[in-house]
Amino acid sequence: MSASLTHRKQLDIAKIRNDFEILSENANGRPLVYLDNAATSQKPRQVLEAVDAFYLHANANVHRGVHFLSQKATTKYDAAREKIQTLLGARGPEEIILTKGCTEGINLVATCMSSPNSPLGSSERRQPYLGVGDEILLSNMEHHSNIVPWQLAATRVGATVKVIPITDSGEIDLDAYRALLKSGKVKVVGIVHVSNSLGTVNPVREMARLAHEAGAIVIVDGAQGGPHLRVNVQDLDADFYTLSCHKLYAPTGVGVLYGKKQLLEGFPPYHGGGDMVRTVSFEETTFAPLPAKFEAGTPNVAGVIGLGAAIDYLASLGAGETLAARLDSAFEKIHARERELTEYAMGRMAEIPGLRLTGTAPGKAGIISFVLESVHPHDIGTILDGEGIAIRAGHHCCMPLMARLGVPATARASLAFYNTTEEIDALVQGVYKVKDMFDREAAPAARR
């Protein structure tokens, strides 16, 4: 690798960490080591300032007022949607539906696909996209938010949920997936882009191609993909793609659903209320065009503006003449940084006797899940917290995956580009402390 290419991929980590003030906090009398980024990322000062600036200087409802503040708020809000379009590579802003989270986006699609698309005031009753005997394929590594909505949809219409198996290393069994598609009944494939528990980066483009050949639509859970990968929904050919924006360095309470325009236009509304209608009478209601059709009520204006600021922040880590070019450059650096951290963490954790890593797929993202012999993950998390180290312990909203792995829970450290090798070393030292504590307790018990 040339020196110029190496330089181009580097991030100024000291400068970046100064943007995230919370990283300099103490936890339980120790320097905070924040390794729970898959649950939520920390927010840079620039995002917090953008939210404050909205409330201090532009607070008003959007799309509903002709006065100065409303116009100012609307301009900022709509500009954020255009930035999201660029982030995801969508064809137009009308394909970007703003939600309160990734979970709501998946529920929107599942509900609309299992609901009759009947114009209000019409006696016509159109059949839902999903029907009796149809099949919905979901992988064994899905988050509950990409399982339960489809179970509810299947119950409504008499469809069936079937499971795409995974290998012991945590990868999709593509041969089994191809076999499942041959039934001729598959209408939906739901797949997580990056597993929140294993870190596996799934072959979404290939899975979408195979699904489309079988006549199915594809919804991708991008909660963990968005923060770590340079996503282009047109390149992936995903029919739907969701984002959990609080994992993307933006405020909580904001999500994104990307959907292909022709599919969204064919859906019935998900929520009813203000701003999603064209005309209303007691005899008939007509609906606004996309994206307003799916955005009833007052939105999280401050949160969406904060998301726009988070996209700007990420772009500032790159270089280029356009926002798209800067994001390309930034994510190249972010990917290189996180790849380096992940390889270092996997190597260090593998050195610990009695520790087993869960999720060892090649090219995985920075999610390090593990179990420690004779120690419950909750005990690991509690002891590490006493050392100032924040990880997550539990089933990670992936109970079917835990059953596949044969464990009740795992401990999970999840990385972001602002983490350091020193923090990983602190994690390793903390796990050794956990191990030593339980080894000492086990020795007298063995003698008894």
Cβ neighbour number for residue 155 with a 10 Å cutoff: 11
> Across the strands, what pairs with 136?
161, 188
The amino acid occupying position 216 is A
Helix, strand, coil shares, percent, the chain, to 5: 45, 15, 40
Rounded to whole angstroms, the Cα distance separating 182 from 81 reads: 38
* Sequence-ordered list of residues with C-beta below 8 angstroms from that of 343, at least 6 positions apart, any chain: none
Report residue 263: phi and psi, to 5°.
-75, -45
The active-site residue out of 102, 112, 397, 398 is 397
Specify whether the CB–CB gap between 238 and 219 falls below 8 A: yes
Give the strand pairing for 96-99 and 255-259.
antiparallel
Based on the residue annotation, tell me whether 397 is a catalytic residue of this protein: yes
Rounded to whole angstroms, the Cα distance separating 236 from 229 reads: 12
DSSP per-residue string spanning 308-338: HHHHHHHHHTS--SSHHHHHHHHHHHHHHHH
Specify whether the CB–CB gap between 169 and 330 falls below 8 A: no
The edge-to-edge listing of strands for the beta sheet with 410-414 is 355-358, 367-372, 410-414, 392-394
Least Cα distance to 369 among 157, 169, 206, 172 occurs for 169
Query: Which structure tokens are listed for 21?
Result: 């003030």
Distances (CA, A) of 395 to 140, 331, 410, 412: 13, 29, 6, 10
Rounded to whole angstroms, the Cα distance separating 7 from 221 reads: 33
Distances (CA, A) of 216 to 208, 238, 239: 9, 11, 10
Distances (CA, A) of 432 to 346, 371, 411, 419: 15, 13, 14, 20
Catalytic residues: 397
